[in-house]
């Protein structure tokens, strides 16, 4: 099931964006094999049970020692039968292992080789270490997020790792797979988090060039600068998200707040924004979030409760849509987007490192004798 059913993809285990891309592909039905290290990797995080590694769901784990020649041969044999391989190492690492695209495309000319890095395969920073916050800083994203007159605010690692990284890698791999169906040739996909993060800012860069986006935080219509696109605290200390951009939605917001007909500044009068913000804050602070939810129910005022992580699965809309699910007691988002004819099935829960080594090798053409030899030599096996 799923629109990518039938595609076979190798994921060289890493952290952040590459596993996210692999998760997207697996959720859509592709058979993704995660090639884990034989030894536990230093992820900068405390150890945890496999079931909590939500980004590892939907695929089996094969643990291989790629520092050993026999281990590298395992990867080569897998890649020879795969449609795509994705990796998230610094430029040159796969080449030094003898597993670079030139080597693997010789054995499989149709292979799509997806590469995920922070700064790209070339350039002055190509070999530099970094994390999400560094990549979005270089792309101009971090500068744009935060309150007016205050420091930039890191938006979790949603923009660099996942939006500008993993999603662009998955998109690039699928695009290349589609092209391969026509040409019969594979290719390399160079996905860089700086590039992807910059792309996510396309609207803002267009407005900045036009002169309609101020190059400062909290001074624009959709960065918290406008009072009708912001969050407000309710009487019980919770929050409402207000996003009434269009005139008709803004008018309904005023009506539901009891401010229609009041002598207020015009919606787009920037000099009057402080007055509007003060009025909105004062009124919204007089009722609880639940009371405001009832007030705005069924309206087009573009107001929503700011739900906590512990609340999201209980919201009526999320429940009807099945936006969240629990697997083995672990809260996580359901696969997205939805498909009318080829809906993806719920994949398997995250697997412990190397738990499926023997089964994967057997399914991909290794003999029992070869599997036994690799296991005995410590080249492949459970983590």
Residue 180 main-chain phi, psi, to 5 deg? -65, -30
Strands 330-333 and 380-381: unpaired
Q: Angle at the Cα of 30 (from 25 to 33), degrees rounded to 5?
A: 90
Contacts of residue 293, Cβ cutoff 8 Å, sequence gap at least 6? 305
- Report the alpha-carbon distance of residue 167 to residue 163 in Å, rounded: 5
Taking a C-beta distance cutoff of 8 angstroms, is the pair 241, 307 a contact?
no
Alpha helix locations (H) across the chain?
Answer: 17-27, 69-81, 93-96, 101-107, 132-138, 167-183, 193-200, 202-210, 247-257, 273-284, 289-296, 316-321, 357-363, 368-376
Phi-psi region of 322 (alpha: psi -120 to 50; beta: other; left: phi over 0): left
Which one is catalytic: 161, 195, 223, 356? 161
What does DSSP assign to residue 84? E
Token pair, residue 157, equals: 């690692």
What whole-number distance in Å separates Cα of residue 130 and Cα of residue 168?
18
Residue 131 annotated as catalytic:
yes
Which one of the listed residues 131, 143, 190, 315 is annotated catalytic?
131
Instruction: Specify whether 161 is catalytic.
Output: yes
As annotated, the active-site residues are 131, 161
């Amino acid at each position: 099931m799923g629109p990518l059913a039938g595609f076979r993809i190798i994921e060289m285990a890493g952290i952040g964006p590459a596993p996210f891309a692999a998760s997207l592909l697996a959720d859509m039905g592709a058979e993704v094999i995660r090639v884990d290290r034989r030894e536990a990797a230093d992820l900068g995080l405390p150890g945890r049970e496999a079931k909590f590694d939500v980004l590892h769901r939907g695929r089996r784990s094969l643990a291989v020692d790629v520092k050993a020649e026999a281990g590298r041969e395992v990867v080569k044999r897998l890649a020879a039968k795969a449609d795509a391989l994705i990796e998230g190492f610094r430029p040159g690492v796969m080449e030094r292992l003898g597993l670079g695209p030139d080597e693997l495309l010789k054995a499989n000319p149709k292979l799509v080789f997806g590469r995920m890095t922070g700064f790209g395969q070339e350039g002055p920073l190509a070999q530099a270490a970094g994390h999400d916050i560094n990549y979005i800083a270089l792309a101009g994203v971090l500068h744009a997020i935060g309150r007016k007159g205050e420091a930039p605010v890191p938006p979790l690692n949603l923009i660099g790792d996942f939006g500008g990284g993993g999603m662009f890698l998955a998109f690039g791999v699928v695009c290349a797979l589609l092209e391969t169906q026509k040409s019969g040739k594979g290719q390399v996909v160079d996905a860089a988090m700086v590039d992807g993060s910059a792309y996510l800012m396309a609207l803002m860069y267009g407005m900045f060039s036009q002169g309609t986006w101020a190059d400062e935080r909290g001074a624009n219509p959709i960065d918290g600068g406008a009072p009708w696109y912001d969050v407000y605290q309710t009487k019980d200390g919770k929050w409402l998200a207000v996003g009434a951009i269009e005139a008709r939605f803004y008018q309904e917001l005023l009506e539901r707040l009891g401010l229609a007909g009041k002598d207020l500044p015009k919606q787009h009068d920037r000099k009057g924004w402080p007055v509007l913000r003060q009025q909105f804050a004062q009124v919204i602070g007089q009722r609880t979030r639940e009371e405001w939810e009832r007030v705005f129910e069924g309206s087009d005022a573009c107001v929503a409760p700011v739900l906590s992580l512990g609340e999201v699965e209980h919201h009526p809309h999320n429940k009807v849509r099945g936006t969240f699910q629990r697997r083995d007691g672990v809260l996580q988002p359901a696969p997205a987007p939805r498909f009318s004819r080829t809906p993806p099935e719920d994949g398997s829960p995250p697997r412990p490192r190397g738990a499926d080594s023997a089964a994967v090798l057997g399914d991909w053409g290794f003999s029992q004798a070869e599997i036994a030899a690799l296991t005995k030599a410590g080249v492949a096996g459970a983590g």
